Amino acid sequence: MNESLLPPVQILEEKCLLARKIFEISDEINDILSGDEFEMDKIESLLEERETLISEIDELDEKLKTTDVSMLAESQKSISRIKNIFMETDKLEKENMDLLQTHMERHKKDIKRLNEIKKGNKGYMKQYGSAEGVFIDKNT
């Protein structure tokens, strides 16, 4: 069947599946941010995957714009499910942002502490010139 001729209910079901995948990705990001190890590469990969899914949903939305409004009445159940999934995802994304902010603050403190240690070490590690240029007054 030509995908552009799919009935609205089928398009909405596909959108619901994609929305659920987005939620699962957000949940996986949440697990990473809540864990002990901060895996930025994994988070970036998941964000790219999420962006792809969002683009697919945008394409489905474009298809829905061209459908007959009277057919959408039978699709209210799917629309409601999609709305609930996006609300859950939004809540999870806000939690992810808070966790990410916490990680950033912790890393800022770590960097500041390392810079202070580095500054202190410079005083101990300073190289002095050779003894040839040093004058020592033996009369005093």
Q: What are the structural domains, with CATH classification, of the chain?
A: 7-124 (1.20.58)
DSSP 139: T
Q: Enumerate helices (H) and strands (E) in the chain, giving the number of each.
A: 4, 0
In this prediction, residue 103 carries a pLDDT of 86
What pLDDT is attached to residue 6? Answer: 66
User: Along the 140 residues of the chain, how does pLDDT read in single tens digits?
Assistant: 444 556 777 888 899 999 999 999 999 999 988 887 878 899 999 999 999 999 999 999 888 887 665 666 667 788 888 899 999 999 999 999 998 898 889 889 989 988 888 877 776 666 655 555 555 666 65
The set of residues, in sequence order, having a beta carbon less than 8 Å from that of 128 and lying 6+ positions away, is: none
> Is the four-CA dihedral 101, 104, 106, 108 of positive or negative sign?
negative
| 36: amino acid identity, one letter | D
What gap in Å lies between CA 69 and CA 86, rounded to an integer?
Answer: 22
- Distances from the Cα of 27 to the Cα of 20, 44, 53, 83, angstroms: 10, 14, 15, 17
Q: What is the pTM of this model?
A: 0.68
∠ CA 131-135-136, nearest 5°, is 105
The identity of residue 114, as a single letter, is L
The pLDDT of residue 137: 64
Q: What is the pLDDT of residue 1?
A: 42
| Tally of CB atoms within 10 A around 65 | 7
Residue corresponding to tokens 């964000």: 47
What was the pLDDT predicted at 48? 95
Write down the pLDDT at residue 134.
56
Q: Please report the pLDDT score of residue 2 as a whole number.
A: 46
